[in-house]
Amino acid sequence: MFHWFPENVSTFGAEMDFMFMVILGITGTIFLLVEAALVYFVIKYRHREGRQAVYVHGNMKLEVIWTAIPFAIVVIIAVMSMGPWMRVRNPERFPPAALTVEVTAKQFEWNVKYPGPDNVLGTADDFTGRNRLTVPNGLPVHVVLRAEDVIHSFFLPELRVKQDAVPGMAIPIWFEATRPGEYVIGCAELCGLGHYRMRGSLVVLDGAEFDAWNASGGSQAGAAAAVTEPVALRQDDTGN
Ligand SMILES: [Cu+2]
- Enter the pTM of the model: 0.81
**Separation of alpha carbons 116 and 101, rounded Å:** 10
Vertex 229 angle, CA 238 and 199, to 5°: 80
**186 CA distance to ligand 1 middle (Å):** 8
Res. 1 pLDDT band, cuts 50 70 90? low
Task: For 66-111, write each residue's pLDDT tens digit.
Answer: 999 999 999 999 999 999 999 999 999 999 999 999 999 999 999 9
In this predicted structure, what is the pLDDT of residue 206?
94
Who's near 213: CB < 8 A, 6+ residues apart?
134, 205, 219, 220, 221
**199 CA distance to ligand 1 middle (Å):** 9
Contact between residue 157 and residue 146 where contact means Cβ atoms under 8 Å apart: no
- E strand segments, 2-115: 99-106, 109-114
Tell me which residues have their CB within 5 A of the ion that is ligand 1: 152, 187, 191, 198
φ, ψ for residue 166 (rounded to 5)?
-120, 130
- Residue closest to 91 by CA, chosen among 140, 58, 50: 140
